[in-house]
Amino acid sequence: MGYNEALVFAHEHNRPVCADVKDQMTTKPEPEQRAIQKKIISLGLLILSDLGIVILSFWLAFQVRSNLLPQFMQRFQEIGMAPFANFLNHFYLAGIWIIIFAHEKLYIKRYTFHEEIKHLLKSTTIASSAVMILIFMTRTQIEFSRAVVILAWLLTLALLPLSRYLIKTLLVKTSLWKKKLIILGVQQTSLMVLQSIQKNKTMGYEVLGFLDDDPEKRQNTYLGVEVLGPLSDLEEITETHKSKDIMIATPHLPRHKLKELLTKFEESSESMWLIPRSGDFITAGVELDVLDDVIAIYIKKNLAKPWNVFIKKVFELTLAVSFAVLILPFLAIISLAIKLDSRGSVFYIQQRLGRNKMPFRLYKFRTMHTDGDKRLEAYLQSNQEAKAEWQTYKKLKKWDPRVTRVGKFLRMLSLDELPQVFNVLQGKMSLVGPRPYLPDELEGRDVFKDKIALVKPGITGLWQISGRSELPFEKRISLDEYYIRNWSLWLDITILFKSVIAWLSRKGAY
């Protein structure tokens, strides 16, 4: 799961039914029979939905190729198209998507929405490539236009995530996709897991409650979920609620007790998750290695690899150049508005820490009066509540005496940060990265200063999509540390996508 997901690894228990015990199926308890029926129905609906979307994508692609493209490109007028019925003769090819989806565990594993999109994009691209190879090998270009396959691939990239979200939402509402989960241990990581489950409702997990041996915790409710009792009540509670899924988030549990717990419930549980102590800060970009009888977490250091840094640079530079060309008219309009609203320069230039601890000149549109520091000092001296807020967030949410009228509008929409695209073109910043800190903000934090020096700061990052100005300063630092540890190109794409959503919602913008 991305930043908020702390499920590091899962141990799935699948018990195939042997032929010689097939007759025993009829004697299973009714709740277990219903659970099996729900799984079969859910699996069937997901497969039918995926097949339907693949066929729909090819039909839409066929219509675009036959009726739309010839209107604009003469080349497509000259090349004839076989009727769509010929495509249906090759209906079996849609099974390639199902096989690859099954290999990616898209029918048995409960991914978060963004993780599922990641696997869908990968699987759909592989399936479309396989079809293209088959077309080439079987010489069926006339029946299977390459343009149709490419258009169908693009359509499935958009339609499959949407259809899966809708079908899983329906399955959850009808309880066909729901699974009951009990979390052992109440601490930061388990609360992060609960938040992630509550946010990703299509995963279908219903958290029944926590179990914890701390008597004080058993008096509380966390994020709307109760502590049901001590760990010793697990057997009784799982039997009462017919829960087959257990998550163990008790990092301080003695080794012998943990082993006893795993051994005792391994057979009765359907799925068990074990969250290690590092589960709250090392998630993305990790792999599991088995060294004889020991499980080891292999931590990748992707940003230390020159090839990955090169890919990130090319990717961001391409986006930055395209974006800069698009926003030039808006930059001119905003510059004029700033000049008409207050005296001073259009741009605000500030020294920030960059890669290798080197300071650089960060560009922003000026949103404050030129004597803003004096106005702030006077305001904080007369307003203790605002002073406390400033000490916590380094920002003022309600009213800031330094901000101009146009500046307030620019900050609300984060338009004041647009000139930072030129910092990206200069090579001083990235589109995605840690927050560009002021030198005095990291005083006394030398360990983190060394980590942040590994990469360029970014226009956006985890700190922005996770609350922006609503986050305490220490939380922003921890998010940046997470990003540095867990970088991947997919993480950058996800952050850019979520940044657009955060910008539209305006949440945390002051």
pLDDT tens digits, 277-298: 655 555 555 666 666 667 676 6
Torsions phi, psi for 468 (to 5 deg): 55, -120
Question: Which tokens sit at 294?
Answer: 């020991």
Torsions phi, psi for 418 (to 5 deg): -55, -40
Q: Provide the 3-class DSSP secondary structure of residue 452.
A: helix
Please report, in tens digits, the pLDDT of each residue of the chain (510 residues total): 433 444 333 444 444 434 443 444 444 456 678 878 888 999 999 999 999 999 899 889 888 877 776 666 555 555 555 555 566 666 778 889 999 999 999 998 888 888 888 899 989 999 988 888 877 776 655 455 777 888 889 999 989 999 999 999 999 999 898 888 999 888 877 888 888 888 889 999 999 999 888 888 887 888 889 998 888 888 888 888 888 888 888 877 787 888 887 877 777 677 888 887 655 555 555 666 666 667 676 666 666 677 878 888 899 999 999 889 989 999 999 999 999 988 889 999 988 888 887 889 999 999 888 887 787 778 777 777 777 777 776 677 777 788 888 988 888 888 898 999 999 999 999 999 888 888 777 676 655 556 677 788 899 888 778 766 566 666 777 777 777 777 888 888 888 888 887 777 665 555
Helix spans in 271-356 (H) = 306-341
Torsions phi, psi for 141 (to 5 deg): -60, -30
- Using alpha carbons, list the distances in angstroms from residue 274 to 2, 59, 388: 17, 45, 40
Could you tell me the residue ranges of all domains in the chain?
29-173, 178-299, 306-368+403-505
Given CATH 3.40.50.720, say whether it is the number of domain 178-299.
yes
| pLDDT computed for residue 12 by the predictor | 42
For 368-389, how does the pLDDT look when each residue is reduced to its tens digit (9 = 90+)? 888 877 877 787 777 777 777 7
Q: Provide the 3-class DSSP secondary structure of residue 430.
A: strand
For 312, residues 6+ apart whose C-beta sits below 8 A from its C-beta are: 303, 430, 487, 489, 492
Q: How far is the C-alpha of 486 from the C-alpha of 469, rounded, in Å?
A: 23
pTM of the model: 0.62
Helix axis angle, 306-341 relative to 405-412, nearest 10°? 150
Within 13 A of 135's CA, how many CA atoms are on the CB side?
A: 17
Question: Which tokens sit at 114?
Answer: 């963004």
Measured in whole angstroms, the distance separating CA 358 from the mean position of its chain's CA atoms is 31
Q: Single out the residue of 472, 477, 406, 408 nearest to residue 438, CA to CA.
A: 477
Q: Single out the residue of 259, 260, 297 nearest to residue 278, CA to CA.
A: 297
